[in-house]
Amino acid sequence: MYEVGEFVVHEGSGVCRIEEISELALAGRGSEQTYYVMKPYYERGSRVMTPVEGTVRMRPVMTKGEVEELIAEMPGVTEIREDNDKQRIQKYKEALAAFEPLELVRIIKTVYSGKQRRIRAGKKILMGDERYTQIAQKRLYEEIAFAMEMDVKDVEGMIYERIGFPGEMETTEG
């Protein structure tokens, strides 16, 4: 069980601070349960209530050391190899559902590489790929930013630099 004041990663709301642990009857009399009442760190003015014994997954936020280990592993993370768009989207959903940072990296690497191939071939970027990479980036970059005490907007550049990808804006050849 987590304690008041702890920061956790909530599967739907990202990095959250546990503000209180309370007995609440959200569904009416006789339905009392113990809930974590949390404030999402990156969504000001928002609150999340999750049953302590619920099905919503939470885990501790990565430490700086764990982020460094994750970044060191990134070059070896394999991309999702699936040419069929519908099946690839299904694999993205499965990777998101795994609730693991390395799976978010897989999505980001897959979409980035696919986007570069499509640009070189003169093709459009697929909207489904973009949607899932945005979800993966938001989840991963917010947690890394929190752990590393940096701005979310600076995380992408740091990651691309460390794993050998150029930044998103550097797509012109020199």
pLDDT at position 41 is 96
143 and 73 share a domain? yes
97 and 13 share a domain? no
68 and 121 share a domain? yes
User: What are the φ/ψ torsions at residue 145 (nearest 5 degrees)?
Assistant: -60, -45
CATH number for position 140 = 1.20.58.1290
120 and 91 share a domain? yes
93 and 112 share a domain? yes
pLDDT at position 27 is 64
**What distance in Å separates the CA atoms of residue 22 and residue 51, rounded to the nearest whole number?**
9
| Cβ neighbours around 68 below 10 Å, total | 14
Determine the structural domain holding residue 128 and report its residue range: 64-163
If one counts the domains in the chain, the total is 2
Written as tens digits, the pLDDT of the chain (174 aa) is: 899 999 999 998 999 999 999 988 766 666 788 999 999 999 988 999 998 987 789 999 999 999 999 999 988 889 999 888 899 999 999 999 999 999 999 999 899 888 888 888 888 878 888 999 999 999 999 999 999 999 999 998 888 777 665 444 333 333
The 3-state DSSP class for residue 30 equals coil
pLDDT at position 128 is 85
pLDDT at position 56 is 85
106 and 152 share a domain? yes
35 and 88 share a domain? no
**What distance in Å separates the CA atoms of residue 15 and residue 147, rounded to the nearest whole number?**
10
15 and 91 share a domain? no
Q: In what order do the strands lie in the sheet with 14-24?
A: 48-51, 33-40, 14-24, 7-10, 58-60
The whole model's pTM is what?
A: 0.84
